[in-house]
């Protein structure tokens, strides 16, 4: 196992999901689908839905507050806030700046990061670099999404897959031998159209007509994304393990992106990690993109699944196409 001179690790986690829940049975009343169809193909049973007036920054702020509380760190001690999201409140200002204002984190820089479902892993790896080189001491990394506003509710094949939520972690210095040991990030932009929102930027500004024909909402080629995911997740984890000077058999807990139970099972099998070591909560939340991994991580911690000294692997893939994994010795 690699030992770093100035290790960075997770000091506290938190999450927030809206109170409103739409079960698969609720969706049966809205469209031609069924609980059995959704569960058998995805493992999803429900998703949380943000009400009108609640925005990504609101969920992010609450998750951040919880992470700060659990870390025992004050907001004014933060040096940086990174919000990983594909559903920002606005194009300007960044959602991270809104969170900084909400938290009164007056000494923190702030920026958004967009790597879709890989975002939290990307953000955590980036944060660790600032801490390892001693530029910053405490960084708040948040994954937050309101995906139910960017899915096409007329497209039953994709709209059932997504939900809203936020998860957060405070990253800071930890004792030698602990913390983030290695990470891996990657991208393949040639697959960008496999998961995209065509009318969402300056290339094709959204209009009422484009919303009506579905171009302003998420479009996904499910088969291509699945083929990519089952290879990308184990590849990313294996590279992160190699850089940590560890092997697959060293993994105590795997916290994967919660996109599809079949993808999770396939990745675990390829990594030779038994499912009892894999944290899964997709049944309750569906795919929350950038919020998926930090929500799962926080729940795994509070469920008593992760203990000090455990080797924990976070592993994700997302639109871009992107992938990322990081390995840490839990402090």
Contacts of 111 (CB under 8 A, 6+ apart): 81, 82, 83, 94, 96
Which whole-number Å values give the CA distances from 231 to 84, 146, 235, 277, 311, in the listed order?
Answer: 23, 27, 6, 20, 22
For the record, the structure tokens of 313 come out as: 């692997």
Q: What kind and span of H or E run contains 263?
A: helix 261-270
Contact 2, 180 (CB under 8 A): no
CA atoms within a 13 Å half-sphere pointing along the CA-CB vector of 91: 4
Do 164 and 18 meet the contact criterion of CB atoms below 8 Å apart?
yes
Task: Considering only the C-alpha atoms of the chain, give the largest distance between any 2 of them, rounded to a whole number of Å.
Answer: 57
The stretches of 135-250 forming alpha helices (DSSP H) are 156-159, 208-212, 222-243
Sign of the Cα pseudo-torsion (279, 304, 131, 328, in order): negative
Beta strand ranges found along 201-292 (DSSP E): 219-220, 253-256
Report the alpha-carbon distance of residue 257 to residue 95 in Å, rounded. 22
Residues that are catalytic: 117, 257, 287
Contacts of 317 (CB under 8 A, 6+ apart): 117, 118, 228, 229, 232, 233, 236, 257, 259, 323, 324
């Amino acid at each position: 196992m690699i030992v770093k001179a100035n290790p960075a690790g997770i000091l506290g986690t938190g999450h927030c999901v809206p109170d409103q829940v739409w079960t698969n049975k609720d969706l049966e009343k809205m469209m031609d689908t069924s609980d059995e169809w959704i569960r058998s193909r995805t493992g999803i049973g429900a998703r949380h839905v943000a009400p009108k007036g609640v925005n990504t920054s609101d969920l992010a702020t609450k998750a951040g507050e919880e992470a700060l509380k659990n870390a025992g760190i004050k907001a004014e001690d933060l040096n940086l806030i990174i919000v990983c999201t594909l559903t920002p409140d606005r194009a300007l200002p960044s959602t991270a700046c809104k969170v900084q204002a909400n938290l009164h984190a007056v000494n923190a820089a702030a920026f958004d990061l967009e790597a879709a479902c890989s975002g939290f892993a990307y953000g955590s790896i980036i944060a660790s670099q600032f801490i390892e080189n001693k530029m910053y001491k405490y960084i708040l990394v948040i994954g937050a999404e309101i995906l139910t506003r960017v899915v096409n509710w007329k497209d039953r094949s994709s709209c059932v897959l997504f939900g809203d939520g936020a998860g957060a972690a405070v990253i800071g210095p930890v004792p030698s031998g602990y913390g983030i040991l290695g990470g891996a990030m990657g991208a393949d932009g040639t697959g960008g159209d496999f998961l995209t929102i065509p009318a969402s930027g300056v290339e094709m500004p959204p209009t009422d007509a484009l919303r009506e024909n579905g171009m302003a909402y998420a479009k996904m080629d499910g088969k291509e994304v699945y083929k990519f995911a089952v290879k990308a997740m184990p590849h990313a984890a294996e590279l992160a393990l190699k850089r940590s000077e560890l092997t697959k058999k060293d993994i105590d807990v795997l916290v994967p992106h919660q996109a599809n139970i079949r993808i999770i099972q396939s990745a675990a099998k390829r990594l030779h990690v038994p499912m009892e070591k894999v944290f899964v909560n997709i049944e309750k939340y569906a795919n929350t993109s950038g919020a998926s991994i930090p929500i799962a991580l926080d729940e795994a911690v509070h469920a008593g699944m992760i203990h000090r000294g455990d080797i924990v692997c976070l592993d994700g893939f997302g639109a871009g196409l992107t992938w990322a994994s990081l390995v840490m010795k839990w402090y």
